[in-house]
Amino acid sequence: MADGQIVVSGLTKLYKNVRAVDNLSFTVAPGRVTGFLGPNGAGKTTTLRMMLNLVKPTAGEATIGGHRYADLTDPLRHVGAVLEASSAHKGRTGVNHLRVICAAAGFPRQRADEALALVGLTPAAKRKFKGYSLGMRQRLGIAAAMLGDPRVLILDEPANGLDPEGIRWMRDLLKSLASQGRTVLVSSHLLSEMQLLADDLVIIAAGKLVRQGTVSQVMDSMAHTAQVRVRTPQATELVSALKSTESATVTPNGDGVLLVTGVDAPTVGRAALKAGVELHELTTERPDLERVFLELTAGKAAIR
Ligand SMILES: Nc1ncnc2c1ncn2[C@@H]1O[C@H](COP(=O)(O)OP(=O)(O)O)[C@@H](O)[C@H]1O
Ligand SMILES: [Mg+2]
């Protein structure tokens, strides 16, 4: 596999009455963490499962390093996957679970210990899986995915059910794996999580691509939703002054506060100066990602 780029082109999955994934195309670059974002039911899991040859696409294809997953010889050495509800034999210890996978895949036995160390599970290596907390199970799932030292790591909502410390641990691990040049694709329905973790974002809703780019490109693409917050004891005068700038939309927010969209803060300031209006506050409020995300995906949840 030349590099770990993932290319999704025209990927489509139709279930009986749902277009789970709808002509979806995007790329995922090596050396970066890509957040695959969408509300519940957006088609994230279906897309990831099609990449991994676990679900057959209705149309389109996904390639990893130029090959379809099904055509990879020794896929576990190229692609590690952590899917939802990863599981292990309940009575087996963590280290034995990994050794079984090593034996089946032809990996050296010590990879099990190395992978456990990577995810910080060495102290729990000899405990039985049934006694593992959710966070420990997630760590073991990542350890299993890393056994083949893959260039590409695909994780489906790995932060689900983790406590804040577990989430921070996961974030640091995934960032460091990406900094080693690996491709890290991680799905989530929470934008706040991806804001801290991802370099790039792919946002989908109802199976369709909504946005793709770096986190800041996605933000900038929504920059027109930035609003200016202005506070004045002469709200009425300012509102009529702003009415003369054709593109401003003004929403009074009580207590002399006006929220202005469609113009930038300097324009509001100049209008106020010209009208002799006293200002007590003038701030540009950039939309946070969560708001951007909700606006982008609002009302687009797939029919269930
Ligand atoms: N095996 C299936 N049979 C029928 N519908 C499915 C199946 N798997 C997923 N879906 C539907 O496809 C849509 C996308 O689901 P999914 O890929 O799980 O979304 P996400 O992972 O983003 O929450 C949903 O409407 C879901 O109900
Ligand atoms: Mg899912």
Q: What is the mean pLDDT of residues 44-60?
A: 97
Q: Which residues in 68-225 belong to E strands, given as ranges?
A: 79-82, 152-155, 183-188, 200-205, 208-214
Rg of the chain over all Cα atoms, to the nearest angstrom: 24
Q: How confident is the model at residue 303 (pLDDT cuts 50, 70, 90)?
A: very low
Report the pLDDT value the prediction gives residue 64, as an integer from 0 to 100.
Answer: 97
Q: Identify the band that residue 304 occupies on the pLDDT scale cut at 50, 70 and 90.
A: very low
Number of neighbours of residue 33 by Cβ within 10 angstroms: 24
CA of 174 to the centre of ligand 1 (A): 26
Distance, CA of 301 to CA of 296 (rounded, Å)? 11
Q: Are strands 200-205 and 33-37 parallel, antiparallel or unpaired?
A: parallel
Testing ligand 1's pocket by substitution, the residue of 12, 16, 18 carrying the most ligand atoms inside 8 A of its CB is: 18
Give the ligand 1 atom nearest the CA of 40.
Answer: 23
Instruction: Give the ligand whose atoms come closest to the C-alpha of residue 37.
Output: 1
What would the mean pLDDT of 135-158 be, rounded to a whole number?
Answer: 95
**Mean per-residue pLDDT, 212-237:** 85
Report the C-alpha gap between 281 and 226 in whole angstroms: 16
Nearest protein CA to atom 2 of ligand 1, as residue: 15
- Return the beta strands (E) in 222-292 as ranges: 227-231, 249-252, 257-261, 281-285
- State the Cα–Cα distance between residues 20 and 43, nearest whole angstrom: 5
Residue 10 has pLDDT above 70, yes or no: yes
Rounded Cα gap, residues 267 and 301, in angstroms: 37
From the CB of residue 63, how many other CB atoms can be counted at a distance below 10 Å? 17
Tell me, what's the pLDDT at 226? 76
Ligand 1 centroid to 41 CA: how many Å? Answer: 6
Task: Name residues whose C-beta falls within 8 Å of residue 301's C-beta, 6 or more positions apart in sequence.
Answer: 39, 40, 41, 42, 205, 206
Atom of ligand 1 lying closest to residue 304 CA: 25
Spatial separation of the C-alpha atoms in residues 270 and 267, rounded to whole Å: 5
pLDDT average, residue stretch 256-275: 92
| Ligand number, closest to the Cα atom of 158 | 2
Q: Which ligand is nearest to the CA of 84?
A: 2
Please give the pLDDT value at position 156. 96
Q: Which atom of ligand 1 is nearest to the CA of 302?
A: 25
- Res 218 pLDDT > 80: yes
> Is the pLDDT score of 302 beyond 50?
no
* Ligand 1 near 54 CB (within 6 A): no
**pTM, whole model, 2 decimals?**
0.82
To the nearest whole number, what is the mean pLDDT of the chain? 90
- Which residue type is seen at 92? R
- Determine the distance separating the centroid of ligand 2 and the alpha carbon of 7, expressed in angstroms: 20
Q: Is the pLDDT of residue 173 over 80?
A: yes
Q: Does the Cβ of 45 fall within 6 Å of ligand 1? A: yes
The ligand 1 atom nearest the CA atom of 47: 17
Q: Which band of pLDDT confidence, cut at 50, 70 and 90, is reported for residue 100?
A: very high
Is the pLDDT confidence value at 145 over 50?
Answer: yes
- Please give the residue that has the higher pLDDT: either 67 or 288: 67
Q: Which of 46, 48, 52 to mutate to test the pocket of ligand 1 (most atoms within 8 A of CB)?
A: 46
Residue whose CA lies nearest to ligand 1 atom number 4: 15
Q: Whose CA is nearest to atom 14 of ligand 1?
A: 43
Contact 37, 195 (CB under 8 A): no
d(CA 24, CA 265): 38
Share of the chain above pLDDT 90, in %: 70
Minimum-distance ligand 1 atom for the alpha carbon of 21: 14
Output the CA 181–ligand 1 centroid distance in Å. 31
The terminus-to-terminus CA distance of the chain in angstroms comes to 38
